[in-house]
Structure 1
Amino acid sequence: MGTAVRPHRIPISGWQGGQQLADSSGWTYDLEVLQSPERGKALGVEALRRGWPPLTPPLIVQLIVRNEKGEEVETDNATLARRLVHLTMSVELVSPDGTGSRSMMRVRPPSPRGTVQPYYPTSAPPPYSLQRTLLGSSVRTPQILTREGRKGLYFIFQDLIVRPEGRYSLEGKILDLAGPPHIGTSIGVTHPLTYSRTKPFDVM
Structure 2
Amino acid sequence: MCGFGDKDRRPIDPPPVVRLFVSFPNGTPESESSIDHTMMTVHAALWSEDCKEERILVNNPSTHGQATGPTSSIMSLNPPSCVKTLAGSCASSAYLLRDHTDQRGIYFIFQDLSVRIEGAYTLKFSFTDLRGLISPSYEIVGGCVAAEAYSAPFRVYSAKKFPGMTESTALSKAFASQGIKLTIRKNLRYQRINDHPLDQMNEHTTTITTSTPSNIIKSENPDNPDNPVDDTEEFDNLSHEEIKRER
Please classify the TM superposition score into its range, dividing by the shorter chain length: 0.5 to 0.7
Q: Percent identity?
A: 28
Whether the aligned pair in 1 keeps the contact of 2:16 and 2:110 (CA below 8 Å) is yes
Compute the TM-score of the two structures, normalised by the length of structure 1. 0.62
Q: Which has the higher strand share?
A: 1
Cα offset for 1:178?
2.7
Among 130, 133, 156, the alignment partner of 1:203 is 156
Whether the aligned pair in 2 keeps the contact of 1:96 and 1:169 (CA below 8 Å) is yes
Deviations 1:149-178 (A, max 9, x none): 321101111221111121111000101223
Among 87, 93, 96, the alignment partner of 1:144 is 96
**Which residue in the other structure is 1:45 paired with?**
4
**Which residue in the other structure is 1:130 paired with?**
82
Among 153, 165, 168, the alignment partner of 2:121 is 168
Deviations 1:41-75 (A, max 9, x none): x12222233xx331111111110001123221112
- Matches of 2:150 and 2:79 in 1, distance apart? 34
Whether the aligned pair in 2 keeps the contact of 1:179 and 1:185 (CA below 8 Å) is no
- SS of the residue corresponding to residue 76 of structure 1 reads helix
Whether the aligned pair in 2 keeps the contact of 1:178 and 1:184 (CA below 8 Å) is no
- Matches of 2:97 and 2:111 in 1, distance apart? 15
Which structure carries more relative contact order (alpha carbon 8 Å, separation 6+)?
Answer: 1
Give the 3 Å change call, closer, same or farther, for CA 202–183 of structure 1 in structure 2.
Answer: farther
For 1:64-143, list aligned pairs within 5 A. 64-77=21-34, 80-81=35-36, 84-110=37-63, 126-143=78-95
- Matches of 1:157 and 1:164 in 2, distance apart? 19
Whether the aligned pair in 1 keeps the contact of 2:97 and 2:105 (CA below 8 Å) is yes
**Gaps in structure 2 of 5+ consecutive residues:** 67-76, 158-247
- The one-letter code sitting in structure 2 at the alignment partner of 1:161 is S
Whether the aligned pair in 1 keeps the contact of 2:59 and 2:80 (CA below 8 Å) is yes
Compute the TM-score of the two structures, normalised by the length of structure 2. 0.52
**Which residue in the other structure is 1:59 paired with?**
16
Give 4+ residue runs of structure 1 displaced > 3 Å after superposition. Answer: 108-113, 180-189
**Gaps in structure 1 of 5+ consecutive residues:** 1-41, 114-124
- Matches of 1:100 and 1:46 in 2, distance apart? 25
Whether the aligned pair in 2 keeps the contact of 1:109 and 1:127 (CA below 8 Å) is no
- Matches of 2:116 and 2:61 in 1, distance apart? 14
Give the 3 Å change call, closer, same or farther, for CA 126–101 of structure 1 in structure 2.
Answer: farther
